[in-house]
């Protein structure tokens, strides 16, 4: 469970201060998928980065499974909460094989049965053992994102922080990755906090969505509101129509994979 209360995050000082996040509160229940959506610069990634402690400075409170987060991440927290980034190519070491990429977290956390865990992790994301000794440049973008998901899951976390996990991918591959994430969440009861600029992508996975604009939370909408096109705020309505035009093809392809 994630509980965020009155979270504010600023960068810089004096006249150049950027108020990236202003007084944001929301909570994500265990096993829930919660989305943060908004245009570029609205502050959604900054929230995710604070929870992952990539940004260690904030005011307000962040609690994960009942514990208040401090600026330093413990090993136990790292195991319980993993992050998947937008660009799988940037996130995977180019000179490490898939085997080395998946082995590293097991070594850091001292887990045994490493070969078996690596093969199981590949299978979980729909990849066979033949991918094990390939390098990131020898696999496709979608397969790279599958490896990034496998690396995040190999420590058996309860929570995944997903930062635009499909926006670097082709539309047809986006649907595959979203369906993979959905299946993994259902099978394992994972808790997801997912950031995207694309409402259609978030709505595919998340039951509740916080709409962000210029660091503030404009409103929280449910899946039903998104389907029925009945948001309270004009900003959300605008975001909905922008997304529809842009991603009609993606929305159509989700149906094919369901």
Ligand X SMILES: Nc1ncnc2c1ncn2[C@@H]1O[C@H](COP(=O)(O)OP(=O)(O)OP(=O)(O)O)[C@@H](O)[C@H]1O
Using CB under 6 A as the criterion, which residues of the chain lie in contact with ligand X when the complex forms? 11, 18, 20, 38, 40-46, 197
Structure tokens belonging to residue 1: 């469970």
Please report how close the Cβ of residue 254 comes to ligand X at its closest, in angstroms. Answer: 21
Please report how close the Cβ of residue 256 comes to ligand X at its closest, in angstroms. Answer: 27
CB 202 within 8 A of CB 212: no
Q: Which is nearer to ligand X, 41 or 60 (CB)?
A: 41
CA–CA gap between residue 210 and residue 212 (Å, rounded): 6
Q: Between vectors from CA 65 to CA 64 and to CA 69, what angle results, nearest 5°?
A: 30
Q: Which is nearer to ligand X, 21 or 98 (CB)?
A: 21
Please report how close the Cβ of residue 9 comes to ligand X at its closest, in angstroms. Answer: 8
Which pairing describes strands 81-84 and 33-38: parallel, antiparallel, or unpaired? unpaired
Please report how close the Cβ of residue 12 comes to ligand X at its closest, in angstroms. Answer: 6
Q: Which is nearer to ligand X, 42 or 82 (CB)?
A: 42
CA 140 to chain CA centroid, Å, is 20
CA–CA gap between residue 193 and residue 177 (Å, rounded): 16
Please report how close the Cβ of residue 46 comes to ligand X at its closest, in angstroms. Answer: 3
Please report how close the Cβ of residue 78 comes to ligand X at its closest, in angstroms. Answer: 21
Q: Which residues pair with 213 in a beta bridge?
A: 216
Q: Which is nearer to ligand X, 20 or 101 (CB)?
A: 20
Q: Which is nearer to ligand X, 42 or 243 (CB)?
A: 42
Q: Which is nearer to ligand X, 10 or 222 (CB)?
A: 10
Q: What is the crossing angle of helices 114-124 and 141-153, to 10°?
A: 130
160 phi-psi bin (left φ>0, alpha ψ -120 to 50, beta other)? beta
């Amino acid at each position: 469970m994630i509980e965020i209360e009155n979270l504010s995050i600023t960068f810089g000082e004096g006249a150049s201060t950027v108020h990236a996040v202003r007084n944001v509160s929301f909570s994500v229940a265990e096993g829930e998928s919660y989305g943060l959506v908004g245009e570029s610069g609205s502050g959604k990634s900054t929230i995710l980065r604070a929870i992952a402690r990539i940004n260690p400075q904030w005011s307000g409170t962040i609690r994960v499974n009942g514990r208040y987060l401090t600026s330093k991440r413990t090993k136990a927290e790292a195991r319980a909460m993993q992050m998947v980034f937008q660009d799988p190519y940037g996130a995977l070491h180019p000179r490490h094989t898939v085997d080395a990429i998946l082995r590293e977290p097991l070594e850091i956390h001292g887990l045994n049965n490493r070969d078996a865990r690596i093969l199981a992790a590949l299978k979980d994301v729909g990849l066979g053992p033949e991918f094990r000794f390939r390098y990131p440049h020898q696999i496709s973008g979608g397969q790279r994102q599958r490896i990034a998901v496998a690396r995040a899951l190999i420590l058996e976390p309860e929570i995944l922080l997903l930062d635009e996990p499909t926006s670097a991918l082709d539309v047809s591959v986006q649907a595959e990755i979203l369906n993979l994430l959905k299946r993994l969440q259902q099978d394992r009861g994972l808790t997801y906090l997912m950031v995207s600029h694309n409402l259609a992508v978030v709505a595919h996975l998340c039951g509740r969505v916080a709409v962000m604009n210029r660091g503030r939370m404009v409103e929280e909408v449910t899946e039903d509101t998104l389907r029925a096109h009945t948001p309270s705020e004009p900003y959300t309505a605008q975001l909905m129509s922008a997304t529809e035009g842009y991603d009609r093809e993606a929305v159509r392809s989700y149906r094919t994979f369901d």
